[in-house]
């Protein structure tokens, strides 16, 4: 099913247009995509939560999942006899602190 697009226009000062275009290039995207993404990140979703808040929450959730996977792997390796546990004092000394 083809998408339908509704064109829109905004008025920008030349300096604003240059700044936006430069920022878009740094992000590796077109100016139109950059503006659209920035606008949508500030828009409310159906729950009233801003898309940028959802993005931050998802990134934190993913980071927590990665941390948990690393911890579970470390526990499994320790139980199988791999590695060594350090006391707090030993860890600080090992780090030279």
pTM of model > 0.75: no
Confidence band for 93, pLDDT divided at 50, 70 and 90: very high
pLDDT digits (tens, 9 = 90+) for 43-90: 766 666 666 677 788 888 889 999 999 999 988 998 898 878 889 999
Write out pLDDT tens, residues 3-38.
788 888 889 899 999 999 999 999 899 999 989 888
Contact 30, 24 (CB under 8 A): yes
| Sequence spans of domains, the chain | 12-42, 44-97
Rounded Cα distance between 82 and 75, Å, is: 10
Residue 90: predicted pLDDT: 93
Structure tokens at 46: 């159906």
């Amino acid at each position: 099913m083809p998408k339908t697009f509704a064109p829109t226009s905004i008025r920008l000062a030349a300096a604003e247009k240059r700044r936006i275009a430069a920022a878009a290039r740094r992000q590796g995207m077109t100016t139109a995509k950059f503006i659209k993404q920035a606008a949508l990140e500030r828009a409310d979703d159906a729950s009233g939560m801003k898309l940028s808040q959802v993005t931050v929450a998802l990134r934190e959730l993913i980071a927590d999942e990665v941390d948990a996977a690393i911890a579970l792997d470390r526990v499994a390796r320790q139980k199988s006899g791999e590695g060594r546990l350090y006391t707090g004092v030993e860890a600080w000394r090992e780090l030279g602190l």
